[in-house]
Structure 1
């Protein structure tokens, strides 16, 4: 059902806007419109230019709540506005001090890791770093050399080199180490090593002992910093947890205050020079019941003036659409939102979609056992989380169970329970002119014909609501189309059941006249509206174009009806696939392989259930919605929609 909307304007002293929002407006759902853009006839309107003072503390509160440990804590709602903001400010000050300390520790630990990474390749060297760095008559160079160049050094130059090279760590690319050379030979030796692409790695003079001892000292310092970081993290967690109740209460209250303050974004100010007062104006859409309750609440408040614009939708655009359906059908609103919200003068197809979708799904996927699995899994996901798709799957599972009883199918077994109706694979029907045809196909086509007639009636209702004469009377989905298709269906049903079909005169009247109406629907609509409009492009072009459109219309009737064959096709294919699963599991031999049977049912239930769900949605959108539904409305979005969460 679509809630009827009314447009209203709310005004009062500028200083009273927060009280009005908190006391009255926050209790009702209202979609705000830009007052300056909407109230074009009102002069001297200016926007609010105030920064929301509650957003920053609210963001901080949400940040702190994100750090809370899992666990139910009752929010503290006793604090006033100043106490909440003061608490968050003090908490943030302590939090920043701790996080700053943690960052300093992390930075120091990272510096130590970098030093350790530099020193690690020299760990095997048995030299005192502090001593060798202070040699007076000898120089030491730490670094690395490519493995290939080191081999050359060993093979050709080592004997003539007046230096000693101590090797540290060697990997596939480099040899790390250091060489000692006397001051007098340092220049020549450095040049040789430079020619061999020796890369110097400077080490700090602060190290004490051997590289291995220095690495151990660095590792201990890193571990100590890690312990300090963990200590700070615990302090932060304890600090936040000690204020959990206050933070949750502050978040709830600040969220209300922030959203109420944001009303100013859509509101306007109006200055009264004579009385030297400043007023606010808020306008937007509200449901009829909310309007009635809102007027009753504010009728004795002198500071709040409410004006309801009864005829606003006729002159200033379309109202938003708010759907309100019983809880059982609520999840199916998701399909409507995916296609497009109905306009305010369209019918809400939610209940129709819920009934047809689940019924067709059950017919295509009829199995008592697998249907129960869908029902149970969907229900388990929907009840706590309110996931719409899970709710749809659960309801669809109920209809799968229903058709499973009608088909006599339980996890593919057709001999456990008797079929109350038929077995899809084996049931056949004799039809005149056609011969034997699967019964489910016949029923599916008949069901599709009935649905086509029903959606045509919906289209006529929608067209009359929109005062669309052409589509109501003369279109292929209007009254003319209903007569044509209805008579055609009646004729086919009479012929297939062995009854006498209508005579040639009736066929000519009920089939010929609607065809002519389809062809000349535009001139006929102009005639009814008394709109003497000339035919664009001339009469010949009009007839040629009309002929092709007529051919397309007749073809769409045929293809649209045949599309429903897929209902029977999937019902038969599901039964056939389960026969294959049972055959692979060896069920026909007496003792089935239960592992194969379970896996087969899971695969069929998952994959085929997904395919059937998509195919039914295709039938809804392309075969039904295309005949009666536009979905051109806009969704109702109240400013205080956060309260629904």
Structure 2
């Protein structure tokens, strides 16, 4: 059902808005509307221009709580006052920033050590003491790299003529790393040769001890030590936050409330009048909440509330809030997918819950598979609160019922005696049509019944909206209902062998409703005494009306025949399970139980998905399209807190 909404205006001294929001409104569900937009006729209105004082400290508190590994299980410390919360977050922030600065220094140190490693790494194969080499006075050395192709040229053509020694280090696809040593007297000539070979020098500072390999390992050990120091800092930060976990969670929750309450100013307006500064808030509340709210503030002389009963006093339609029994609550998901009902529409949730579950049960009738859906869906819905799981559980209940009706359990049809019929076998003989499967006939008859119900719901919705054309002359209104009922009665009489009404009676039964549907626009204008003219001329109206009438008659037929899929899936389910059992060797009397189990699981999942989609299609296209528009907007309270039940 749709919760009845009321539009209220709340006002009071400007400096009292925080108290009112925190003490009253935060405990109710209210969808705030922009007061500046809604109250256009009120003069001297201007917006609030204030900065939220809780935003920054809330961001810090939220950040710290997110670092807690078990924040959801922490019991908040409710003893803190607002000043204590600010002080707590400031101190935690200062301690945390100090630890982060130390950690940042460690990161910088690691980067420096990695840079040194990158420099020394290519020279690890060199067996020399770097400190001693870098201290040579009578030998000139050059560390660097040379391209591979130039290195090979040097070895082949030049090395024997140079008075130098080249010691190779590591090499990759492009370069050979190493160092050459030469006497100071030959240094200039050798340097010139190596420059011609594009030798790139790499400067090594005298800061390494031992061989390059040893120096590299020392750097690696130093990096590991700094990483341990960083881990200790992380551990220290975690312990610091854990010691204050209860206070931080409490501060975060309370600051979040206060921040949300302060942001109410975005929807409020200020009004200066006679040197008095007032705030104005307006929005939608459930009727029961309004009554409790008025009762709670009756002795508060700083809060003034006006409940608007005149629809013309505000702009826009009331938002939609659905409130259904727990059994049908999951089916609200299907309503939201199609569109929420407007405030003057019926809530189709219960209708969808009953028809969807019933049709699914017929199309997927099996005791064993139905119980799997029932139990599995119920467990998932209980623990995870997933609406689709609740729908599956309810559908599984009806599948179990129709499994008994059809005598099917996990595909075996020789275990249970059917309480009604076996879909795949039972046939019925009809005049003119001959033998047809019984479930096909029942499915079409049931579809006729649902179409009639959908038309009745359309008439109720149209009457609530005071839509004369939709109530009386629409294809789904009274005229359409009379015509469709006449067709249904005629078909039933013919199929049961009873005499049909006379030609004049049938002409009236069929002709008058169709004529009313054809003339719906001019008739509605005449009854409503509207002065507007038809958008098209009489000739075009007749042509357009003819094709619309043809489409209407075709839709009656196609929508009715569409329900035959209910019987088709009931039969196909039994046929598919016969194939599964045949493949598992059930006919031999010694079935492969692993094949039976996996076959049932596959059918339960795959065919269950297809059936679920087909039933939803019937709901949307064959029923919803007749009576439901889904043009409502969702009720979106600024706070998700539960309503105050104590007021």
Q: Which residue matches 1:33? A: 33
Tell me how far 1:173 sits from its aligned partner: 4.5
Equivalence for 1:506 = 505
- What's the counterpart of residue 65 of structure 1? 65
Aligned to 2:459: 460
| Segment of structure 1 superposing worse, 301-310 or 110-119 | 110-119
SS of 2:67 mapped into structure 1: coil
Give TM-score, length-normalised by structure 1: 0.95
| Structure 2 residue 335 is matched with structure 1 residue 336 | yes
Give the Å deviation of 1:483.
0.8
Q: Is 1:377 paired with 2:395?
A: no
Structure 2 vs 1, CA of residues 202 and 557 (structure 1 numbering), >3 Å: closer, same or farther?
A: farther
Q: Return the offset for 1:325.
A: 0.8
Decide whether the 8 Å contact of 2:26 with 2:641 is kept in 1: no
Shift of 1:192: 4.3
The equivalent of 1:623 in structure 2 is 622
Q: Which residue of 2 aligns with 1:90?
A: 91
Partner of 2:423: 424
CA RMSD of aligned residues (A): 2.0
1:12 pairs with 2:12: yes
Q: Distance in 2 between matches of 1:182 and 1:519?
A: 113
CA distance in 1, matches of 2:187, 2:428: 106
Q: Residue in 2 aligned with 1:443?
A: 442
Residue in 1 aligned with 2:308?
A: 309
Cα distance change, pair 298–190 in 1 and its aligned pair in 2 (3 A): same
Equivalent position of 2:478 in the other structure: 479
Cα distance, 1:310–1:537 mapped onto 2, change above 3 Å: closer
- 1:183 Cα offset (Å): 4.0
2:261: which partner in 1? 260
* Cα deviation code 1:150-173 (max 9, x no counterpart): 334333333334432222223444
Note the alpha carbon deviations across 1:551-575, whole angstroms, 9 max, x for none. Answer: 1111111111122122222222222
CA distance in 2, matches of 1:403, 1:154: 90
Relative to structure 2, which stretch is displaced further, 320-329 or 49-58? 49-58
What stretches of structure 1 of length at least 5 have no aligned partner? none
The alpha-carbon deviation at position 83 of structure 1 amounts to 0.8
Contact kept? 2:372, 2:396, Cα under 8 Å: yes
1:281-292 correspondence to structure 2 within 5 Å: 281-292=280-291
Give the Å deviation of 1:267.
0.8
1:342 is displaced (CA, Å) by 0.8
Greater alpha carbon shift after TM alignment, 216-225 vs 391-400 = 391-400
Q: Measure the CA separation in 1 of the matches of 2:422 and 2:198.
A: 84
Note if contact 1:313-1:319 (Cα within 8 Å) is conserved in structure 2: no
The change in CA–CA distance for 1:53 and 1:388 in structure 2 (over 3 A counts) is: same
1:233 corresponds to which residue?
A: 234
Correspondence 1:178 to 2:187: no
Deviations 1:328-382 (A, max 9, x none): 1111111111111111100001111111111112222222222222222222221
Deviation per CA, 1:216-272, whole angstroms, max 9, x where unpaired?
100110110111111111111111111111122222222221221111111111123
- Give 1:176 shift: 2.8
Counterparts of residues 20-169 of structure 1 (less than 5 Å): 20-70=20-70, 72-169=73-170
In structure 2, the CA distance between the partners of 1:574 and 1:106, relative to structure 1 (3 Å rule), is farther
Could you tell me which residue of structure 2 aligns to residue 404 of structure 1?
A: 403
How much has 1:80 moved relative to structure 2?
Answer: 1.1
Residues 360-419 of structure 1 deviation map (CA, whole Å, 9 limit, x = unaligned):
122222222222222222222211232212211221221222222222222222222222
1:488-503 correspondence to structure 2 within 5 Å: 488-503=487-502
Aligned-pair CA distance for 1:199: 4.1
Q: How many residues are paired up?
A: 642
Q: Structure 1 residues 314 and 369 mapped into 2: Cα distance closer, same or farther (>3 Å)?
A: farther
Distance, in Å, in 1 between the alignment partners of 2:222 and 2:371 is: 61
User: Which residue of structure 2 lines up, in the alignment, with residue 537 of structure 1?
Assistant: 536
SS at match of 1:409: coil
CA distance, structure 2, for counterparts of residue 623 and residue 516 of structure 1: 24
Moved more, 583-592 or 351-360: 583-592
Asked if 2 retains the 8 angstrom alpha-carbon contact of 1:494 and 1:501, the reply is yes
State the alpha-carbon separation in 2 of the partners of residues 485 and 197 from structure 1.
95
Counterpart secondary structure, 2:270? strand
Where 1:531 maps in the other structure, the secondary structure is: coil
Correspondence 1:547-626 to 2 at 5 A = 547-626=546-625
Contact 2:443 2:564 in 1 (8 A): yes
Query: Aligned equivalents of 1:210 and 1:115: distance in 2?
Result: 14
Q: What is the rounded CA distance, in whole Å, between the counterparts of 2:189 and 2:571 in structure 1?
A: 92
